[in-house]
Structure 1
Amino acid sequence: MSTIELKRSVTTPVKIINYLYFAIGFLLIERFLFKGDGDTAYFVSLLIVSVILLIAYKWPAKPYIIFFGFLVLVFGKIYYGFSMDPIVGSDEIRYHAQMLAQINDFNGYLDYVKDKLTLNYSIYPSFGMFFMPFYYLFGSDNRMIIVIFNTVMLVSLAQFAFKANRSIIEEYSEINSKDKNLYTALIVFGVLASPSFMYWSSTFAKDITNICISFAALYLLIKKKYFWFIVVMFVATIFRPYTIVFTLGYYFIYKRSMKMMVLSVIGAIALVFYKTGITGLINTVFSAAYLVVAPFPFNYDNWVNYRLSSLESLLSIILTVVAILLFLSRKETRKFLMLCALCLYLYACVVTAVGHVALGNAGMNYGLGMVGDNMTRKKLPIIVLLYMVFSYCLTYMEGNRKAKSKA
């Protein structure tokens, strides 16, 4: 038997076993949602989903870091599940209303999607195409099901972030080869334990699903599966048309393509200037700063409204300082850190342009310092970027420490 045939013969049973884990888990979840009380059903269902995903997915060879990340995720989701309502804004109200209106009428839902996507175009059905089958599977209108669904999307995002980083980690020659598992494990831990991801995945919002799909497309692009990349990227852009921008930004980082990143940033600057003028161009700097510090950690109200997301923002500020010091003192780190900074600014240009449109639609005047949207939510696509920088800096410094101790 050839090596390829042997690999296929091993991989196929493993995939089948993984699917069986999911199927059995979903059956157990459905039973608890039907027969258990609300709190118990949520707790048990979340625990089952977490264990299934922990077993089914392949993770970096740092089991203690991954397991601790899962523990943080489970306890965090229980905390948010019991202490907050998933309906936190106007979008969430619409998605929840869509679910309640269509939960008992699958054919009616299909007609609704067809109408919205063809006759009266709207992006609102796009999220429903993912979460509504989840509701039909469970046969319940329990609003906590969306939290379980978003948890599946969040863990899947961590998996795709791991796969994307693992596939190009060999190009990071400045990181000790023995520490490369640490680099990917810290990224996975960051995604699982991120307070911002945890908060928004506990709401009736589409953001986590959108980012998960975009990272799936990113992984396909890295693996040169171009047809499937186009298909998956098309689905992601139905959620948010500008998803392609930050997806390519990550791709340029992974490929270490400074030329393509710079050209993309120049194009984004030109677009912002054309649409918003010099005011918008200045506001891109504010947007980039807000993407790091939102929600502003020195405002008490943000600790009340966004919980531990404010702590994450505080850590992001400290991380930015560390990254700048490392950039200035270590020449070999400059390319990676510069690519990350340009990716952040590229997305800031997109956020600025989107904010300009949002303010115009609201009938408001556009001025200096105005970003026009909830930056706490808009920063979600670059959360993985922040943890990539964190993992890179920590792994690089750990490698230097080991080198010095051996000298």
Structure 2
Amino acid sequence: MANPSFNRTFLLVLYGFVVVFALKWIFPQDMLLGIILFFGLLIPFFFLLRWPHTPGPLLIGLLALLTGKLAYAVTTDPLAGPDEINYFEQVSSFERLSDFMPYALQHISGEWANMSAYPIFGLLYMPFFKWIEVQEPLPIIAFNALLFVLIVNQTYRLNESYLTYPTPGENRSGFHSMVILGLLLSPSFMLMTSIFAKDVTCVLLGVYAAGLLLRRKYIWFVIVMVYATGLRDYAIVYTLGFYFFYAQRFRSAVAVMLGAMAILAVQVGPTGLINSVLLTIFLFVSPNPVNPGNWDSEVFLRTLEAVWMLVILGLSAIVFMKYKETRKFYILAFILLYTYACTLVLVGYVTVTGRELEYGVGTIGDNMVRKKLPVLPLLYIMQGYTLVWFARLCRTPVRRSAAAPMELTLSTSIGGEGEDDLSNKRILKGGGIHAGS
């Protein structure tokens, strides 16, 4: 009998070749038409992946993703900053892939102790651009969108296979739906998949490497982590964070957190520790909704996401206090988020002091929307977990007082008897009518 998993993989590979050849034909003809065709071809690919049996949320999330990506393709400049420009310059500077590869390999071998992310990331996107033979940045939207779908799918697969925290049994599929839908609708991911940057790739490598470690594929884990570290120096922090979270390695997570706090205290001092607490909150609430400028049309959706995460944070506190069985989930999640915040504070401190700027309480030193992206899957896992437990709390009926059922028993038992007939009867504690002595 054929293996369903093998059949699905075979179909995915076969369909992938169809998509690649279709893009090579259409992109040089018409860029926008190529983007539209790609997203049309992405729909079958999406449903060939393994998902929970929740077609409604999946379809809503996919349609929202495709609509948002097409809107961003028309309205967003993929080269939004200096890093994006430098990444794209490799596309225009090297005519063929055979010209780029010696440069990248020479950089890796010669600068392995201080590698630049530009050629490292180029190893991933340059084959795509040189295959479709396009010298414009817009196809990066298609490239990142594909990686993003894989991020959402990998997050689901990790949750399905390794998330063993207690959940209301009847809401397991609801939990998966909320996580998937939340990620697909995320304005932060919607923005970052629309610019020529490495951030989406970093997230995918983080969740994928965590899966390799959970499956004890140590050699592949090391290979992926070497590449991920070339893109982002502290990739090991959020990758191990996902591993600790799914494997429930509480002691290991605490040890790493204490180590991060110690390094921060030595390198930055008390200000760094204060900022690490603030930054943990900012992972949820960024952009800052209190800032009126963050409600402009350009930032509006991301600010709305921050408000939603603030609501989730409040609901999490209610669930934490109400249900003891959820506390391990929340404690471990916040330990990992705080550890990541310590890392970001240290990175921000180096950035700020390196530019000879003043460092103080509240100084972050970098783009928070970009920096929180690696842990955004964890935030949406918290969202799904909180909502299913809060839904259970809302469905729990209010307990009636003990007197109510006793009164009901009394009235039902005596029927139409008069008061005289009750003179030799008494109601004992616990309900019921018994003959008097």
Same structural fold, with TM-score higher than 0.5 when normalized by the shorter chain: yes
Q: Point out where structure 1 has 5 or more consecutive residues left out of the alignment.
A: 1-5
Q: How many residues align?
A: 396
1:404 Cα deviation (Å)? Answer: 4.6
Distance of 1:39 and 1:108 partners within structure 2: 28
Residue 97 (structure 2) pairs with residue 95 (structure 1): no
Q: Which whole-Å deviations, capped at 9, do the CAs of 1:199-258 have from their partners, x for residues lacking one?
A: 011000100011101111111112222222222122211111211111111222212222
5 Å matches for 1:169-180?
169=163, 171-173=164-166, 175-180=167-172
1:284 matches 2:284: no
For 2:240, the equivalent position in structure 1 comes to 248
What is the SS of the residue equivalent to 2:27? helix
Report how far residue 402 of structure 1 moved: 5.4
Q: Deviations over 1:258-279 (max 9, x none)?
A: 2222111111101111211122
AA aligned to 1:146 is I
Q: For each residue in 1:31-72, what CA deviation from the matched residue of structure 2 results, as whole angstroms up to 9, or x when unmatched? A: 221223x33222222222x21431331111211111111111
SS of 1:35's equivalent in the other structure is: coil
Residue 158 (structure 1) aligns with: 152
> What corresponds to 1:26 in structure 2?
20
Find 1:340's aligned residue among 329, 333, 347.
333
> Which residue does 1:3 correspond to in 2?
none
Find the aligned partners of 1:404 and 1:136 in 2 and give their Cα distance: 62
Residue-by-residue CA offset, 1:137-195 (whole Å, 9 max, x unaligned): 211123111110000110000011011111123x223x133321221222122222111
The Cα of 1:115 is off from its aligned counterpart by 2.8
Q: Partner amino acid for 2:98?
A: N
Give the partner amino acid of 1:361.
G
**Which residue of structure 2 aligns with residue 223 of structure 1?**
215
Q: Distance in 2 between matches of 1:195 and 1:213?
A: 21
What's the counterpart of residue 403 of structure 2? none
CA shift, 1:403, in A, is 6.1
What is the aligned partner in structure 2 of residue 295 from structure 1? 287
Residue of structure 2 aligned with 1:74, choices 49, 66, 72: 66
Residue 378 of structure 1, CA deviation? 0.7
The answer to whether the Cα contact below 8 Å between 1:162 and 1:185 also exists between their aligned partners in 2 is no
Partner residue in 2 for 1:53: 45
With normalisation by structure 1, the TM-score equals: 0.92
Partner residue, 1:378: 371
How far apart, in 1, do the equivalents of 2:355 and 2:124 lie?
A: 29
Matched residue type, 1:113: A
List runs of 5+ in structure 2 lacking aligned partners: 401-437
| Mapped partners of 1:197, 1:105: distance in 2 | 31
CA change 1:125–1:272 in 2 (3 A) is same
The answer for the alignment partner of 2:319 in structure 1 is: 326
Q: Comparing 308-317 with 54-63, which one deviates more in the overlay?
A: 54-63
Instruction: Provide TM-score, normalisation by structure 2.
Output: 0.86
Q: Note the C-alpha offset of 1:398.
A: 3.0
Partner AA of 1:316 in structure 2:
M
| SS across alignment from 2:172 | helix
Paired letter, 1:333: T
The residue aligned with 1:84 is: 76
Whether 1:271 and 2:260 are equivalent positions in the alignment is no
CA contact (8 A) 2:289 2:307 kept: yes
1: CA distance between counterparts of 2:272 and 2:9? 49
**Bigger CA drift: 251-260 or 308-317?**
251-260
Contact kept? 1:25, 1:52, Cα under 8 Å: no
Equivalent in the alignment of 2:348: 355
Larger Rg, first or second structure (1 or 2): 2
- How far, CA to CA, are the matches of 1:403 and 1:234 in structure 2? 49
SS in 2 for 1:370: coil
Structure 2 SS opposite 1:308 = helix
Query: How much has 1:113 moved relative to structure 2?
Result: 0.4
Deviations 1:70-119 (A, max 9, x none): 111001101111111011111111101121111x2222201220232222
Secondary structure, in 3 states, of the residue corresponding to 2:268?
Answer: helix
| Stretch moving more, 16-25 or 363-372 | 363-372
Worse-superposed segment, 304-313 or 133-142: 304-313
* Partner residue, 2:97: 106
**Which has more helix, going by share of residues?**
1
